[in-house]
Structure 1
Amino acid sequence: MSAADDIRSTFLFHPPVDDAAAWQMTVEGFVHALTAAFPEAFTKYRNSGLRGNSVVDFEVEVQPEMWVEGVASTPVENSAVITLVGATSAEAAHFALWLRSGLVPRPDLVRFSSERALDSGDDTQWQILAGGGFEELRAVVAEHHEALEDE
């Protein structure tokens, strides 16, 4: 593991920008998929202050004693943004594994960035690998952090 594994960041998972509706996600569909995979998940609906649409706050145990929390929204119809708040590379990778196999229609449709990248002006879309396991995904997320360190 690298030093990037200890960095906590807010991660944003989304479909490819040029195919924003690729996930065909609804907030209700997200909640259904999340609670089917993680029966102990906590979810709470609320209205977004920005657009007035429904969003869901969630907290889920992606691995024993490894919890992530976040928000799922559909800023435009069938589009999606899922935000993990204060997650490590390992936590984000575990969540991305579920997202890739448990929510999106094809595993090659998951992109991500971080609040840290966006704050530094980097709007690069990083792709979650369509294959591979936890270690491979963790390495991609850690590489994202390391790239920011090099700037």
Structure 2
Amino acid sequence: MVTERNIRTNIGFYPPQEDGGAWRSSLPALEQALRQAFADAVIGYQVSAVHGQQVLNFEIALAPDVWIDGTSSMEEPDYAFITLRDVTADEAAVFATWLRDSFVPSPDLVRFISSLAMESGEERPWVLPATGGSAEVLAEIRRHIETFDVF
């Protein structure tokens, strides 16, 4: 019997490299979207010590007793990212499906990469499936994690 490992990693979401401003959004717009989609969202702003830009930190409940937290920056017109910290593929897939279907202007504008991949030297984000439901998104995130899990 095969038992699937429940690996936790950080996962970053990005617009296409050739169009960093493709999401055409802002931190206040992300805050509003998170508050509308996730009723008990906890949101705060701070200036990043690393980049010197304003970032939005958030905690959201995906299900009862299942919370994730993340950070986003969209301060420059051609740059955006959202990073989830210490999430499973299942948790990341719920958020990624929401991001693709409810926040970005077109479903083909989401790329993602895990800290597992970056630790292995990978620098290119993978393309999130533009079609299909949460099962397809979950399958792609799991495939990504399995590719770089060297345990």
Q: Is residue 2:135 matched to residue 1:135?
A: yes
The number of residues matched between the two structures is: 150
Conserved? CA contact 2:71–2:82, under 8 Å: yes
The equivalent of 2:118 in structure 1 is 118
Q: Distance in 1 between matches of 2:68 and 2:106?
A: 23
With the length of structure 2 as denominator, give the TM-score of the two structures. 0.91
- Residues 29-84 of structure 1: CA deviation (Å, up to 9, x unaligned): 11011111112101011111133221111000123332111101126335211000
- Distance of aligned partners of 1:117 and 1:99 in 2 relative to their CA distance in 1, 3 Å threshold: same
The equivalent of 2:144 in structure 1 is 144
- Residues 109-150 of structure 1: CA deviation (Å, up to 9, x unaligned): 000001111121111321111121121111100000111136
Conserved? CA contact 2:116–2:149, under 8 Å: no
Q: Is residue 2:30 matched to residue 1:40?
A: no
Identity of aligned residues (%): 37
With the length of structure 1 as denominator, give the TM-score of the two structures. 0.91
Q: Is residue 2:26 matched to residue 1:26?
A: yes
Unaligned runs of 5+ in 2: none
Q: Distance in 2 between matches of 1:104 and 1:51?
A: 23
Conserved? CA contact 2:10–2:114, under 8 Å: yes
* 1:33 match: secondary structure: helix
Q: Distance in 2 between matches of 1:84 and 1:44?
A: 15
Q: Is residue 2:49 matched to residue 1:49?
A: yes
Q: Is residue 2:52 matched to residue 1:86?
A: no
Note the aligned Cα RMSD (angstroms).
1.9
The equivalent of 2:100 in structure 1 is 100
Unaligned runs of 5+ in 1: none
Q: Distance in 2 between matches of 1:122 and 1:40?
A: 35
